[in-house]
Amino acid sequence: MPATTPPPAELHRRVIDWYDTHRRTLPWREDPGPWRVMVSEFMLQQTPVVRVLPVFEAWLERWPTPADLAAAPSGEAVRAWGRLGYPRRALRLHAAATAIVESHDGAVPSTYDELLTLPGVGDYTAAAIASFAYGRRAVVLDTNVRRVFARVVSGVQYPSQGVLRAERDLAASLLPEDDAVAAAWAAATMELGAVVCTARAPRCEACPVADVCRWRAAGHPPHDGPPRRGQAWHGTDRQCRGALMAVVRDADGPVAPELVAAAWSDTAQRERCLDSLLDDGLLDLTDDGRVTLPG
């Protein structure tokens, strides 16, 4: 017999109570200052928590405010990003810090609409900062939250590849009216998806709403939508770009062309990826043809 989803208030109580007991201790939760939350959200995009933690701590020690980061060269932000991957996030965070200084007196905006005006801040990031840093009511839909809602309420293994209107409407219908409860719900559902209702090995025995989960009641039917492809790495342009970035990031100054060439053997792929890094503003060329981080 299909499970019946209880009233939203019952879901809220169960999941938030579970979160209060089982949530991980993370630095941006223990001290959820707006800038700290913003930095964490940029870093956590497509990057596991365990890799973010040391870089986050070093970043906040060096640039404890948006003004501190905005005053530094963008290349230093890329260097400090280290091996987190997707280094364009570092440039976007630097640009956002600059906009905060220029347009918001150095303070991270507190409303969803204002946050959306910042470079690199989209729907999810704006909602997350408004919720986690300011305790505002917002629909926070990351991959983990979407997976929880897909399984518990919609009865499917995975959500669609992109956020659909029906999915957003469902999330809005489940959002508590009270700001503080809504913020707790956002954090709790995200944590539930991250550590219990995981993509590959869900721990249903540890889930506070397993008995009302429609996907579980249906016998865990497999995903029947478009194939879910894992991200390839070996030999890809992403790997090549990362190798080129590592050579320049780890150097004390501009890097000679022959050292860049030694970082990747496939000449055509190397040149293509170097051109893309230059186009993205992640690397610059000096007048004598050496490669450096942006100034």
Return contacts of 75-83, CB within 8 angstroms, 24+ apart. 75/284, 75/292, 75/293, 75/294, 75/295, 76/293, 78/245, 78/249, 78/282, 78/293, 78/294, 79/249, 79/293, 80/55, 81/55, 82/55, 82/249, 83/51, 83/242, 83/246
Residue 214 zone, left/alpha/beta (φ > 0; ψ -120 to 50; rest): alpha
DSSP codes of every residue in 270-291: HHHHHHHHHHTTS-EE-TTS-E
Q: Which residues 6+ apart lie within 8 Å of 232 measured at CB?
A: none
Confidence grade of residue 137 (pLDDT, cut at 50, 70, 90): very high
* Cβ(182)–Cβ(119) below 8 Å: no
Tell me the CB-side half-sphere exposure of residue 5, using CA atoms within 13 A: 18
Active site residue 41: yes
Mean pLDDT of 141-157: 96
pLDDT at position 1, please? 46
Q: Which two tokens stand for residue 152?
A: 């518990």
Quickly count: other Cβ atoms within 10 Å of residue 86's Cβ. 16
pLDDT at position 178, please? 97
pLDDT digits (tens, 9 = 90+) for 229-273: 666 778 898 889 999 998 999 988 999 989 998 999 888 899 898
Residues shown for the chain: 295
Beta bridge partners of 78: none
Domain 1-227 has CATH 1.10.340.30: yes
Residue 284 has φ and ψ, to the nearest 5°, of -125, 160
- C-alpha 82/C-alpha 200 separation (Å) is 28
Residue 281 has φ and ψ, to the nearest 5°, of 80, 10
* Cβ(86)–Cβ(51) below 8 Å: no
Q: Per-residue pLDDT for 224 more than 90?
A: no
Among candidate residues 30, 41, 57, 177, the one labeled active-site is 41
* Cβ(248)–Cβ(255) below 8 Å: yes
Percent of the chain beyond pLDDT 90?
76
Mean pLDDT of the chain: 93
The pTM (predicted TM-score) of the whole model is: 0.86
